[in-house]
Amino acid sequence: MPNVEIELKYKIDDPDAVIKKLDQIDAKYVKEFRCIDTYFLVPDNAEGRKYLRVREKGDKKELAYHFVPSYARTDEWEMSIDDAKMAKEILQKIGHDIDVVVDKKRRVYIYGDSEIVIDEVVDLGNFIEIESPSISEVEKIEKLFGFKKSDRLDKCGYPDMIRERLINK
């Protein structure tokens, strides 16, 4: 059974201003780390709403399949793995070519029941993601930061943005 994630994402110009706001609202700083996500092509994915990924973040490695049925919801199947290189090799051997690689530095905060992260993504810039147990809590935090619905990156994950950047190069 999948884990269900409610998340909204926004492009930001000034991560320091966001960090200042996080301090003002007493969000708890958790950690910072580098994360390398290798995404693989998934068949029957014309709408780009399915993601197959190997994630490497420090000593942790995981294999994940995500399906995005709506603008804020993601159904996730994730598991820890021991060897990211071998997992990538296996995926390629069974026909999943590498699509894109997302390299990011991530700062994680907790506010209430929500996780707020600031991502610095290589070649894309800075973003904030708000992940909450409910859409109402995400929208409450959205208002707290002064974001509007029109600011949301609803149908565009990092792999989509990188793919588009590569196409438009």
User: Is the pLDDT assigned to residue 155 strictly greater than 80?
Assistant: no
Tens of pLDDT along 23-72?
A: 999 999 999 999 999 999 998 887 778 999 999 998 999 999 999 887 78
* pLDDT computed for residue 123 by the predictor: 93
Tens of pLDDT along 99-140?
A: 999 999 999 999 999 999 999 999 999 999 999 988 899 989
Is the whole model's pTM more than 0.85, yes or no? yes
Architecture of domain 3-167 in this structure: Beta Barrel (2.40)
* pLDDT computed for residue 91 by the predictor: 97
* pLDDT computed for residue 52 by the predictor: 96
- The answer to whether the beta carbons of residues 122 and 110 sit under 8 Å apart is no
Sorted by where each begins, the domain ranges of the chain are 3-167
* Own/partner long-range contacts of 22-28 (Cβ < 8 Å, ≥24 apart): 22/109, 22/111, 22/116, 25/111, 25/144, 26/111, 27/109, 27/110, 27/111, 27/116, 28/109, 28/110, 28/111
- Nearest-angstrom CA–CA distance, 97 and 64: 15
Tens of pLDDT along 7-24?
A: 999 999 999 999 999 999
* pLDDT computed for residue 71 by the predictor: 73
